[in-house]
Chains A and B, each alone.
Chain A
Amino acid sequence: DAKTTQPNSMESNEEEPVHLPCNHSTISGTDYIHWYRQLPSQGPEYVIHGLTSNVNNRMASLAIAEDRKSSTLILHRATLRDAAVYYCILSRRGGSEKLVFGKGTKLTVNP
């Protein structure tokens, strides 16, 4: 499985945008980029995914570099409820269906 690299932790202030980076320099052409988050004492929650184009949904936006070797999850206005561990995961269509979780980025949101 292709590997992703994320910062261990980040901090943000409430109501400010947050940009969470992810490097995946060994990504293959059929790898999708998925983001999940895990709030304290809860199971992981799907956030967003994409292949090549930038994606938006009600939770966040995903910006994918043109060479696809990195991506950024964007929370447009952080709230205290966004404090969580954010995971960037590659998933290959036609490959193993399991998700391989790394350490993720622990996001702290300050009031």
Chain B
Amino acid sequence: GAGVSQSPSNKVTEKGKDVELRCDPISGHTALYWYRQSLGQGLEFLIYFQGNSAPDKSGLPSDRFSAERTGGSVSTLTIQRTQQEDSAVYLCASSPLGRFGTQYFGPGTRLTVL
């Protein structure tokens, strides 16, 4: 079946611009996660959605970062006033109910801030 999809695959933007990154999770998966991976660095948790519960935003690095999940499916990660240190690969993952710890990742969006 279809896996997690993300768009765009690559995004180049200028410092100070806003960007939106999209994630389509696997159909029926109730949990959705955003991570980012900077060049040569490990994966860093950003935010987690589970059903209708309040999201866990503990990993968002600043208030320039926000995310929403509409209708329990598609999610959008928004970065306002982008900075060069925001350059990274942004990864989305989803997980079915009850399968905690088992996450299925998308291919990522490579964001470059000039």
Given A43-B108, A97-B50, A98-B48, A49 and B102 touching (CB < 8 A)?
yes
Contact assessment for A91 and B107 in the assembled complex, using a CB-CB cutoff below 8 Å = no
Contact assessment for A97 and B42 in the assembled complex, using a CB-CB cutoff below 8 Å = no
Give chain A residues whose Cβ lies under 8 Å from the Cβ of B48.
Answer: 96-98
Count how many chain A residues have C-beta atoms less than 8 Å from C-beta atoms of the other chain.
20
Contact assessment for B101 and A103 in the assembled complex, using a CB-CB cutoff below 8 Å = no
Contact assessment for A46 and B42 in the assembled complex, using a CB-CB cutoff below 8 Å = no
Q: Which A44-83 residues have C-beta < 8 A from chain B?
A: 44-46, 49
Given A43-B107, A98-B59, A104 and B42 touching (CB < 8 A)?
yes
For residue B25, CB closer than 8 A to chain A, the reply is no
Give chain A residues whose Cβ lies under 8 Å from the Cβ of B105.
Answer: 43-45
What is the bound-complex CA distance between A4 and B105, given in angstroms?
Answer: 21
Give chain A residues whose Cβ lies under 8 Å from the Cβ of B103.
Answer: 44, 46, 99
Neighbour of A43 across the interface among B31, B56, B93, CB < 8 A:
B93
Summarize B's interface: helix, strand, loop or mixed.
Answer: strand
Contact assessment for A98 and B45 in the assembled complex, using a CB-CB cutoff below 8 Å = yes
For residue A2, CB closer than 8 A to chain B, the reply is no
Count how many chain B residues have C-beta atoms less than 8 Å from C-beta atoms of the other chain.
25
Contact assessment for B45 and A99 in the assembled complex, using a CB-CB cutoff below 8 Å = yes
Contact assessment for A32 and B33 in the assembled complex, using a CB-CB cutoff below 8 Å = no
Give chain A residues whose Cβ lies under 8 Å from the Cβ of B56.
Answer: 96-98
| A99: nearest chain-B partner, CB-CB | B103
Contact assessment for A43 and B91 in the assembled complex, using a CB-CB cutoff below 8 Å = yes
Greatest chain B CB density within 10 A among A32, A43, A46, A93 is at A43
New contact pairs (19) apart from A97-B56, A98-B56, A99-B103, CB-CB < 8 Å: A34-B101, A42-B108, A43-B91, A43-B107, A44-B93, A44-B103, A46-B102, A46-B103, A46-B104, A49-B101, A89-B101, A91-B101, A97-B95, A97-B100, A98-B48, A99-B43, A99-B45, A100-B45, A103-B42
6 A-B pairs with the lowest CB-CB distances in the bound complex, closest first: A43-B105, A91-B101, A101-B43, A98-B45, A101-B42, A44-B105
